[in-house]
Each structure stands twice: as C-alpha cells, then as structure tokens.
Structure 1
Amino acid sequence: MAKKKKYERTVLVGAENERVKDIANESYLQTVFRRFRRHHLAVVSLAILALLGGAALLAPLIAPYDPDEIVGTFSGAPCKEFWLGTDQIGRDVLSRLLYAMRISLLVGIMATFISTVIGVILGLIAGYFGGVADMIIMRFTDMVMSFPYILLVLVAAAVFKPGLWNIILILGFVDWPGIARLVRGNVLNLRETNFIKGNIVAGMPLRHILFSEILPNTVAPILVYATSVLALSMLDEAALSFLGQGVQPPTASLGNMLNGAQSLTVLTKQPWLWIPPGLLIVLLVMSINFIGDALRDALDPNSRR
C-alpha cells in the first residue's frame, strides 16, 4: 500500500512538472487563451455573442420577412407563421429583431472605434510630450468628464438631427476621455523605461517610438476598457432610441423597438413586443462585460494563474 501511494505521488509530481514545463514554453497568446478559458462564464458569453452576432450579420438571409413590410395583423400574438408575433402596424417582430441587432452592434462597434482612436491619440500626445500639451489635453478631458454623461449625450442628440450616424458620432466623441486618461497613465510609465530611453538615444523617429514601441505595450488595457465602452455605447443607443432621440423608425434598433413599451397596454397584454428586445440587450451587454472581465485577468502580466 505504501509503495502504491508513493508511486501515485511520483506520477502526480511528474504530471505537475510536465504542466509547468508546458506553461513555461507557451507563447504569450497561448497564455492569454489558457487564462481566458478558465473563465467559464466568459467562454459561454463569447459563444452567445458569436451566435447573436452571426444571426445579425446573416439577417438578410435568415429573416423570414422584410423588417419594414406589413405582413400580418396589428399587434398579432406569436403563432406558427410569426414566431414572435407582429408589432403595432403588422411587421414581423423576429425579422425586425435580427435587423435591430445589426444596428445596435454597428452603433456600439463604430462608437467604440471612434472614441478609442481619439482617446489613444490624445493620451499618447499628453503622456509622451507632457508640459503644455499634457496640461491642455488633460484639462479639456476633465472638463468633458465633469458634465453629467447622460445629460451631455441627450443635449448633443437634441442639438443634432437624430439618426444612425449622428448617434454614432455623438457617442464616439463623448466616450473618449476615459481611454485618454488610461493611455496617458501607461505612457507616463513606459516613457521612463530603459527600452524607450534607448530608442530615444538611438535617434529612432518619433513615429516608431509611439506606434511601434509604446502603443503595443498599451494595447491590453485599451482592449479591456474598450469592451466596457462597447457595452455602454449599446446601452446609450438603446436609451436614446427609446426616448426618440436615437435611431429613427422605420429603421429597427433594439431601443426603438422598446419604445412601444411606454404604453401600459403593451406592458401588460402584449409582452412579445418588449420582452425579446429587452432580453437581447441584457444578453449582449452582459456577454460583453463578462468577456471584458476575463480579458482583464487573461492579459494581466502579474497573473500567476
């Protein structure tokens, strides 16, 4: 019995040593993937997001009807022909949901892209050059962040004509301050490292230092923060469209599909008009947030897991 236990311990130690060797020899991307897989909620969220994103992308192929075509009775209940029923003017709810996801994801992705580009550029300039440039950029950033966020978005949406691209631009130009501050802080730390000072002494061009040396070492926190901006942008679009200041009918978005839920009759007697878009918003935002949390842990260089 003692020999058997000793043998089992030897096997376990050998297996552990092999695992340590494999971890030591794996690349950075393999390490990130291994850490990400430990977050089971994030893996499930990624699958859900891929499924919903694929359905939105293939909406013209899989939608049973044209999203703007009147095909049934007004506010028809779900049936074999219309799985999720019809809306107040007889359009198929399922078809509009598929197209609405495209719009909401487009708004979130494009607004995140615009805010990330602006924030990264301003953060790089402020962090690397410092001095007057840093003071001007950071004071302007503080001024933008001092306004109540939702009030700033609502005022901008009221000033400009409501529409898809106006909402994308408004959200893109409002969400950048957080990324700018994040990038600036990372650049301030990286600027004092030996490899950056070595590049400066070697006479490397500024473009190379900023975009080939500093920026790649700042991508991880930017990527994690961008996931939260993506989720926030989708929620903002839904809120603005719900209030009539966002994407305008007949174009379908998850927010303006919820607009009919302001009626007590719809809330109590026609749940198929508001529960599906509401659930999709919750699923998309929660999936993106879980993925962001997992990426934060997976990209953390100090993580030992």
Structure 2
Amino acid sequence: MNDVATSDPSTQTDVVQRGSLELTLRRLQRDKASMIALCVILAVVVLAIIAPWISTLTGHSPIEQFRDIGLSPAGIPVGPGEQFWLGTDQLGRDVLVRLAYGARISLLVGVFASVLASTIAVIVGTTAGYHGGLTDIVLSRLMDLVMSVPFLLCALALVSAFGPSLTLSVCVIVFFSWAPMARVIRGQVISLRKQDFVQASRSLGAGPLSIMVVDILPNLAAPIIVYTTMQIPSSIVFEATLSFLGMGIVPPTPSWGGMLADASSNSLYLVAWWLVFVPGTALLLTTLAFNILGDGLRDALDPKSARTVRRFRLQSKGASKR
C-alpha cells in the first residue's frame, strides 16, 4: 500500500525547475549593493532620456548663455536657486541642462565603446585561443603591442592629426580597451578547446567556425557580460579624461569632462563649488554604480567565486578575533 501511495503522481510534490538565467537574477536581487547600483544607473539613463524635456521645462538650451541673469555683476556664475536649479557656469549656461545632455554623451560613449571593444576582443581572443600555433603567436604579440602603447601620447598624436571629435574619442577608447579582455578570452578558449564536448563536435565533422560559435562561445557568456559591464565605467572615465584635456567632445557640446575642465579654468571652482561638485559627483556615482553592478553580476553568474570570497572574509574575521 505504501509503495502504491508513494508511486501515485497525485501525492508527489511538484518539483519546480529553474533555469540558469532565473537563478542568476534571483542571486542578483539578493545583492542589495547591486540593486542600489542598478537604481543609480537607471536614474542616469532616465536623466539622459529626459534631457530635452528638462531643457523645455526650464526654457534653457544646453549652449544658451544667460550673461544678464546667469552671471553676477562681477562676472561670477550664479549659484543654485529657483531659476537655475544647479547654478550656472562661467558663461551663464544652465548646469542642470548641461549635466543631462552630458549624461547622454557619457552613456553613448561608454556603452557603444565597451560593446565594440568586447566584440573585437571576443573575435581576436577566440581565434587565437582555438587555432593556436602561428595564429596565436601573431595575435598575442598584437595584444602586447596595443597594451604597451601610452594612452595619452597616442591620443595627443591622433588629435593633433585629425582634431578632437566624438568619433575619435570612441576609436581611441576601443583601441586601448579590447586587448586585456582578448587575453582573458584567449586563456578561457585554450582550456575549453580540450574539453570532451569540443572533441565530440570535431569528431562529428564540425568546422572551426561552428565549434567556436556554437560550442565555445556560449561557455564564455559569463566573463563577456561581466567584463563588458565593468568596461563601461572605464570608457566613461576615458571620455571624461579626453574631454578634460581638450581632446574629446568639441565645445560647446556638453560633456562631464568638459564641464570639469571649464570649472578648473582660472580656478573658478574656488568661488563656484557647484561647477566641480555637480559633474564630479555624477561621474563618480555612475562609474561606481557600474563597477558594483559588474561585481554583482560576476558573483551571480559564478556563485562559487562569491562563496570563496565570503569564506575568505569570514576566515579573516575569525583570525583577527583570535
């Protein structure tokens, strides 16, 4: 009787199977720091989207100069108030409107350059790791060459030759960003190409391109997602650095790096603190949020690494107590 009751499907508890994506999302949702970082990123995205609406609401263009009401009689920018919510800059332009439009530039450059750099890194790293031999040697030396080129020196040379522009900024960022990721992908592919499922596909007659795309690439999804996410803040900082040095976005187009450069001219930040605080805080919070979210994605996609870090921290606390 017990055996019959046990084998009865109606008496058995339903087993709910969850996919890896759902489990990853559940782990990510339990990470409070990642959720806060995601909220910050969404806030920046919303700010960039509604930039035209903010301009319409305030009645201020991002390049419009209000020298009569935006500057004091002594020529000092006006601080935050009812008319200019975040104050004005040295030309009497609305800082809030310029901040919102600057978010568009930072997100556009950060996301587009990171995705493009990751695409190049995946192609080069997968090709070098799978084929090996002369192909691996040539592509590995190319990675070494790219990583050995001084960033600022190359940027200065390119700007002096072609002039500053958004396209040039993206190209410089991509040029200096793909090589480190390609090295990581290459190492992963070298270990994966020896696995049984790759050998089985090869024995069944699958070609190199099919094996790399169908068999190897899905196993690299986790590091690719994490690296791309953590590359975005680096690209944003690169763009801000280029704009700060006058080698990025061409004025009067607003960018966070350009706003910081304007604040540093003639030590204007000494009498107008908001010129540094507003774009500097936006840049800090955005890059910090992307870094925290990247760490959260890494732990959610690879729970073993999260448990290892947690165990190490517990052991360190126990050792300190002793």
Say which of 115, 124, 138 aligns to 2:117: 115
1:127–1:134 Cα contact (<8 Å) kept: yes
Deviations 1:217-276 (A, max 9, x none): 111111111122211111111111111111110100000011122245422110122210
Q: Is the 8 A contact 1:123 1:183 kept in 2?
A: yes
Partner residue in 2 for 1:93: 95
Partner Cα distance (2:303, 2:161) in 1: 44
Corresponding position of 1:73: 70
Percent of matched pairs sharing the same residue? 40
Which residue in 1 is equivalent to 2:240?
238
Amino acid of the residue matched to residue 34 of structure 1?
R
2:6 alignment partner in structure 1: none
The one-letter amino acid of 2:236's match is M
Amino acid at match of 2:235: S
Shift of 1:129: 0.8
Does the C-alpha gap of structure 1 residues 54 and 304 become closer, same or farther in structure 2, counting only changes over 3 Å? closer
Q: State the number of aligned residues.
A: 284
Letter in 2 for 1:29: L
Deviation per residue, 1:189-217 (Å, 9 max, x gap): 11111111111111124332211221111
Q: 1:301 to 1:216 in 2, by over 3 A?
A: farther
The 8 Å contact of residues 299 and 306 in structure 2, kept in 1 or not, is answered as no
Runs of 4 or more consecutive aligned structure 1 residues displaced over 4 Å after TM superposition: none
Q: State the Cα deviation string for residues 8-40 of structure 1 (Å, max 9, x = none).
A: xxxxxxxxxx9xx76xx3210111112212321
Per the alignment, residue 42 of structure 1 pairs with: 34
Amino acid at match of 1:184: R
Q: Secondary structure of 1:175's partner?
A: helix
Name the counterpart of 2:284. Answer: 282
2:258 aligns to what? Answer: 256
CA separation of 1:301 and 1:184: change in aligned 2, threshold 3 A = farther
Partners of 2:301 and 2:155 lie apart in 1 by 32
Find the aligned partners of 1:168 and 1:131 in 2 and give their Cα distance: 32
Report 1:147-226 matches (<5 A): 147-226=149-228
Question: 1:230 is matched by which residue type in structure 2?
Answer: I
- The answer as to whether partners of 1:164 and 1:246 remain within 8 angstroms in 2 is yes
**Other-structure match for 1:28:** 20
1:227–1:288 contact (8 Å) kept in structure 2:
yes
Q: How many angstroms apart in 2 are the aligned matches of 1:181 and 1:155?
A: 26
Partner residue of 1:57? 49
Does 1:146 pair with 2:182?
no
**Structure 1 unmatched ranges of 5 or more:** 1-17
2:312 maps to which residue?
A: none
CA distance in 2, matches of 1:132, 1:239: 37
State the 1:136 CA deviation: 0.2
TM-score, L = length of structure 2: 0.83
User: Please, which runs of 5 or more residues in structure 2 have no aligned partner?
Assistant: 1-12, 72-76, 308-322
Task: Name the amino acid aligned to 2:205.
Answer: G
